[in-house]
Amino acid sequence: MNKDVNLYIMKIFIDSADIKEVEKYISWGICDGVTTNPTICLKSGVTGGEEGMKQRSIEIARLIAPQPLSVEITTDDAEQALNQARKYNTWADNISVKVTITDKNGGSLLPVIYRLVSEGISVNVTAMMTFNQAILAAKAINAGLAKTSARKTHFISIFAGRVSEEHGVEQAQKVLKEVRQWLDFHNYKNIEIIVGSVRTPENVELWSKSGAHILTIPPEVLAKCLVSARTKETVVQFLNDASKAMQQL
Ligand code: E4P
């Protein structure tokens, strides 16, 4: 067996807060979870402030339960972040609260992450670009897990597309692979790597073999993954010949 076979383990999350898109990919049988963030909510037409976000989150969480829905907090102030995360966590059993690894000035939000995990709240540490950020997030999660009997899955989101824009796709691949090796080497449990910022079908193909547990894919990229001009041509040929064959019966 290929010794790199564990690099292929992968689930697909839908990177969208659009109900119709989520329903579509559930009906395709390929939705293992959903991720959102404030930008995605805006793009998906979520209105009505926090109440609007709550209603949309509850609706998506219900659609995909028991699979996870990531909902991002809207503050980078540590105290407010804790309170907001605790509140969002009550919206549904399958919510994972997204917290950025640092605040806008680069200040650590690891205390928030550690605390939330220790309270039994599932956390998705987001907006990470580097190996160092990811392993520090994993350590904080692991320390939080040691303080609770709750065994929820936690996530570390590496924004591979944004890494690629600056350093190339291979660098993103390297970060993902090394973080996975690090998690496995230390036998960390209940922590899964999400590949974020997926931009193209080529990204999907490359990062499916990166060691990440999950790729979160925007609907428009996911739709493109299915289409091939030669497949369409082949289907036309089959349909034409099927109709000729039927006429000969
Ligand atoms: C997923 O969890 C992320 O929020 C998302 O993939 C970010 O992608 P972006 O780089 O397009 O903002």
Atom from ligand 1 closest to the CA of residue 162? 10
Closest C-alpha to ligand 1, atom 1? 196
Mean pLDDT in residue range 81-103? 98
Closest C-alpha to ligand 1, atom 11? 197
Cβ of residue 207 lying under 6 Å from some atom of ligand 1: no
Mean pLDDT in residue range 90-102? 98
**Is cis: bond before 219, omega within 30 of 0?**
no
Percentage of residues in the chain with pLDDT exceeding 70? 97
* pLDDT confidence tier of residue 156, bands split at 50, 70 and 90: very high
- How far apart are the C-alpha atoms of 239 and 249, rounded to whole Å? 16
- Using the predicted structure, report yes or no on whether residue 18 has a pLDDT greater than 70: yes
Say what the pLDDT of residue 1 is. Answer: 40
- Using the predicted structure, report yes or no on whether residue 3 has a pLDDT greater than 80: no
- Using the predicted structure, report yes or no on whether residue 144 has a pLDDT greater than 80: yes
Helical H runs in 65-147? 78-89, 110-118, 131-145
Mean pLDDT in residue range 34-49? 94
Instruction: Identify whether the C-beta of residue 93 lies closer than 8 Å to the C-beta of residue 66.
Output: yes
Longest dimension (CA), the chain: 75
Instruction: Identify whether the C-beta of residue 218 lies closer than 8 Å to the C-beta of residue 196.
Output: no
Say what the pLDDT of residue 6 is. Answer: 64
Cβ of residue 181 lying under 6 Å from some atom of ligand 1: no
Cβ of residue 197 lying under 6 Å from some atom of ligand 1: yes
Over residues 163-222, the pLDDT tens digits come to 999 999 999 999 999 999 999 999 999 999 999 999 999 999 999 999 999 999 999 999
Say what the pLDDT of residue 8 is. Answer: 74
Over residues 225-236, the pLDDT tens digits come to 999 999 999 999
Atom from ligand 1 closest to the CA of residue 98? 2
* pLDDT confidence tier of residue 248, bands split at 50, 70 and 90: confident
Supply angle C-alpha 125, 129, 133, rounded to 5: 60
Cβ of residue 152 lying under 6 Å from some atom of ligand 1: no
Q: Chain-wide mean pLDDT for the chain?
A: 95
Atom from ligand 1 closest to the CA of residue 35? 2
Mean pLDDT in residue range 128-154? 97
Atom from ligand 1 closest to the CA of residue 194? 2
Percentage of residues in the chain with pLDDT exceeding 90? 95
* pLDDT confidence tier of residue 10, bands split at 50, 70 and 90: confident
Over residues 54-67, the pLDDT tens digits come to 999 999 999 999 99
Residues 6+ apart with CB under 8 A from 177: 7, 210, 211
Say what the pLDDT of residue 63 is. Answer: 98
pTM of the model: 0.95
Pairing of strands 123-128, 11-15: unpaired
User: Does an H or E element contain 125, and which?
Assistant: strand 123-128
How far apart are the CA of 182 and the centre of ligand 1, in A?
23
